[in-house]
């Protein structure tokens, strides 16, 4: 889609499209993994702040406006108010004060092609600068404000690192878990029956009691969880991913009172861009495998024996960065009715090809279902179906070797 009305600004066009389709649809698709709890009942339901997590105050601190579909705005008790969808995107992308970041994201989402002449199609009168007398006290005040702001930000960054470290250190390494551990039970039920391989997962831990959310009455909702380390392309820790499990010890996901039973908590000094590294029986080579969910990655690693990286969600898969030295990448996509998995995989494929990295997409079409992922295939058809897909011999796997 191109711009039809030259008098409309680029921001006017994307805002109009978002209001027509509803901001909820956009945010559910692109940021549901961060604010799904707040989208359940706009204006009333809340979730932990996607940037700093939750405070120790009564209730979780983030919600969207009751007119969210038309405004796209939200508010965090600690971080402030975000009056529009553009403001909220900048907040979630850690790009406040940079509305062009939100504009580019919205244009890509709606398939809008910005006009090439946008920057030059208006005549501007350049006024000579007006010399103003500099007030030393005003300069001193501004310098102090900037120093205070930076000190506050630095403290928030360090506080988040300390929180992430406390959560990670509270977990039991998989290598030390008993065979009847709830974590193993959950993954075995999902088809990962090689407990020896599960024990080798250095980037996963089991936490017996994990904070999930605080209610308005002050009570805290807690569950056992599988906690996975998210690492950047260079191996630096950038966050944690948690799968909350049944409160009674059953090998199943938790029936949480609101929101998603999976959460991501990231560092504050960098945009979240990384993956959970799932070990295989073989060491890592220059051929990498990447997929969306942690269960998906574990299923593929168990079947083919090679390490697999979990980018966690479709949005993050599209932006996944390969480690240095990567020569080939196999992208294991989900098959969804809205094609979200394939679209994200295609964006990644195009970028990898531009980098000179050989790549392919493997999309499952093996089950008679409206949607499927590779963990579904493992559960229904066994390891051999994934091995054949990896070998390129599966007649019911859709392979893509160039951007579509």
pLDDT tens string, the chain, 404 residues long: the values are 544 555 678 888 889 899 888 898 899 888 888 888 888 888 888 888 887 665 444 446 788 988 888 889 988 876 778 889 999 998 888 788 888 988 989 988 888 877 654 444 444 555 666 666 777 888 888 888 888 888 888 898 899 999 999 999 999 999 999 999 999 999 999 999 999 999 999 999 999 999 999 988 999 999 999 999 999 999 999 999 999 999 999 999 999 998 889 999 988 876 678 999 999 999 999 999 999 999 999 999 999 999 999 999 998 999 999 999 999 999 999 999 989 999 999 999 999 999 999 999 999 999 999 999 999 999 999 999 999 999 999 999 999 998 66
Domain co-membership, 227 together with 346: no
Domain co-membership, 254 together with 284: no
pLDDT score of 391: 97
Domain end among 206, 238, 272? 272
pLDDT score of 108: 87
pLDDT score of 346: 96
Domain co-membership, 268 together with 278: no
Domain end among 95, 110, 125? 110
Domain co-membership, 260 together with 160: yes
Q: Which of 32, 16, 99 is nearest to 64 (CA)?
A: 32
Residue 359 sits in a domain of what CATH number? 3.40.1360.10
Range of the domain at 71: 10-110
Domain co-membership, 171 together with 297: no
Helix (H, G, I), strand (E, B) or coil at 6: coil
pLDDT score of 32: 83
pLDDT score of 56: 45
Domain co-membership, 156 together with 236: yes
User: Distance of CA 283 to CAs 237, 322, 330, Å?
Assistant: 20, 16, 16
Domain assignment present for 282: yes
User: Distance of CA 271 to CAs 51, 209, 316, 319, Å?
Assistant: 10, 28, 11, 11
* 43 touches 68 (CB < 8 A): yes
Domain co-membership, 57 together with 79: yes
* 334 touches 314 (CB < 8 A): yes
* Number of structural domains in the chain: 3
Interatomic CA distance for residues 61 and 59, integer angstroms: 6
Domain co-membership, 287 together with 209: no
Domain assignment present for 131: no
Domain co-membership, 326 together with 216: no
Q: How far is CA 14 from the centre of its chain?
A: 23
Q: What is the pTM of this model?
A: 0.69
pLDDT score of 54: 56
Domain assignment present for 289: yes
Interatomic CA distance for residues 297 and 300, integer angstroms: 5
Domain assignment present for 306: yes
Question: Per this entry, what is the length of the chain?
Answer: 404
Domain assignment present for 120: no
Domain assignment present for 314: yes
Strands 308-310 and 220-231: unpaired
* 329 touches 351 (CB < 8 A): no
Domain assignment present for 115: no
Cβ neighbours of 74 (radius 10 Å) = 28
Angle at 128 between CA 124 and CA 131, to 5 degrees: 145
Domain co-membership, 317 together with 336: yes
pLDDT score of 361: 98
Helix (H, G, I), strand (E, B) or coil at 48: coil
Domain end among 91, 110, 129? 110
pLDDT score of 83: 86
Domain assignment present for 130: no
pLDDT score of 59: 46
Long-range contacts for 152-159 (Cβ within 8 Å, ≥24 apart)? 153/268, 156/52, 156/268, 157/267, 157/268, 157/269
Interatomic CA distance for residues 69 and 142, integer angstroms: 38
Domain co-membership, 77 together with 101: yes
Domain co-membership, 368 together with 403: yes
pLDDT score of 1: 52
Q: Where are the beta strands (DSSP E) in 259-347?
A: 262-266, 275-278, 287-291, 308-310, 328-332
Residue 222 sits in a domain of what CATH number? 3.90.980
Q: How far is CA 272 from the centre of its chain?
A: 7
């Amino acid at each position: 889609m191109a711009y039809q009305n030259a008098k409309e600004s680029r921001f006017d066009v994307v805002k109009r499209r978002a209001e027509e389709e509803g901001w909820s649809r956009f945010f559910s698709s692109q940021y549901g993994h961060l604010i799904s709890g707040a989208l359940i009942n706009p204006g009333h339901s809340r979730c932990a702040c996607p940037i700093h997590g939750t405070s120790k105050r009564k209730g979780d601190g983030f919600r969207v406006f009751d007119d969210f579909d038309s405004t796209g705005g939200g508010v965090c008790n600690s971080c402030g108010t975000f009056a529009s969808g553009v403001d909220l995107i900048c907040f979630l992308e850690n790009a406040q004060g940079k509305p062009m970041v939100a504009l580019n994201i919205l244009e890509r989402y709606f398939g809008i092609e910005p006009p090439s002449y946008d920057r030059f199609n208006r005549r501007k009168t350049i006024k000579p600068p007006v010399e103003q007398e500099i007030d030393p006290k005003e300069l001193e005040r501004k310098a102090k404000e900037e120093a205070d702001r930076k000190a506050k930000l630095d403290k928030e960054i360090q506080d988040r690192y300390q929180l992430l470290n406390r959560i990670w250190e509270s977990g039991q390494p998989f290598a030390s878990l008993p065979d009847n551990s709830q974590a193993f039970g959950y993954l075995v039920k999902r088809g990962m029956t090689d407990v020896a391989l599960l024990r080798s997962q250095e980037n996963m831990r089991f936490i017996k009691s994990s904070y999930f959310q605080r209610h308005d009455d002050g009570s805290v909702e807690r569950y056992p969880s599988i906690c996975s380390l998210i690492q950047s392309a260079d191996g630096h820790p950038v966050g944690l991913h948690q799968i909350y499990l049944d409160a009674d010890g059953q090998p199943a996901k938790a029936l949480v009172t609101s929101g998603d039973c999976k959460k991501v908590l990231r560092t504050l000094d960098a945009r979240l861009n990384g993956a959970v590294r799932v070990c295989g029986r073989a060491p890592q080579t220059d051929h990498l495998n990447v997929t969306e969910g942690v269960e998906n990655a574990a299923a593929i690693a168990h079947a083919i024996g090679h390490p697999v990286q979990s980018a966690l969600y479709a949005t993050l898969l599209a932006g996944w960065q390969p480690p240095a030295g990567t020569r080939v990448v196999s992208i294991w996509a989900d098959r969804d009715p809205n094609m979200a998995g394939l679209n994200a995989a295609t964006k990644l494929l195009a970028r990898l090809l531009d980098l000179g990295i050989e790549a392919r997409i493997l999309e499952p079409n093996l089950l008679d279902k409206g949607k499927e992922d590779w963990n579904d295939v493992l559960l229904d058809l066994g390891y051999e179906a994934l091995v054949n897909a990896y070998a390129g011999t599966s007649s019911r796997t859709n392979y893509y070797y160039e951007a579509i």
